[in-house]
Amino acid sequence: MIPTSYPPSEEIARLTARMLLEIKAVHFNSREPFTLASGLPSPTYIDCRKLISYPRIRSTLMDFLTVTVMRNAGFEAFDNIAGGETAGIPFAAFVAERMALPMTYVRKKPKGYGRNARIEGAMSEGERVLLVEDLTTDGGSKLSFVDAIRDTGATCGHTAVIFYYGIFPETEKTLGDHGVQLHSLCTWWDVLAEAKSQNAFDVETLTEVESFLNDPRAWQEANKS
């Protein structure tokens, strides 16, 4: 069912951050930083995959994501909802259900046998496709999915995520230069504000996280092992 309530984007961001903290999807650790896929250290880590195990929160956030996309892109802007392998697949299914649209998913690389396909499901030339993912950091990983969608003859000018890091200034330019507009529910800044209001972490940790968010590249360079 398509949601009919439209909270302001600021309230959506605050509530999303609150829910992510409630299910302990947010991890802050300045003393023993996490290692990101890039190999660089970070005092922050988020696990949006946990959301699939919390139906009330999951349902609310999928309503938020659906109304955000419709409000920003249009109510009849899409013909197909595609999830990126693997984390985007369940969220694409939830959004597609709400929007009453077909759902597909995009493999990270061809499966290597059979049709050697990257697109699973029915996607047709000329369809307007929304790419759904759990999160984005610098936007780079989205480009391969977008290209695979476009290779079918479909178009893809929008991607929607639950969580956007919001600390790397090149992200929206990277996507924009590729003809893709980003839609998201909240950023690290929203999570930090909510964590402070809840006293969810000690002051030292929150201060170090804020330092990282203000200049992530410098923090990573200073904290390389």
Binding residue ranges for 5-phospho-alpha-D-ribose 1-diphosphate: 107-108, 111, 133-141
Kind and range of the H or E run holding 158: strand 155-164
Question: Which residue is listed with tokens 């290692």?
Answer: 35
Amino acid at 146: V
Start-end of H helices in 48-87: 55-73
Please give the annotated binding residues, written as ranges.
107-108, 111, 133-141
- Show the tokens assigned to 217: 């590249």
The whole-angstrom separation of Cα 130 and Cα 69 is 9
Binding-site positions for orotate read 137
Closest CA to 64 of 129, 17, 128, 131: 17
Q: Using an 8 Å Cβ cutoff, are 171 and 165 in contact? A: yes
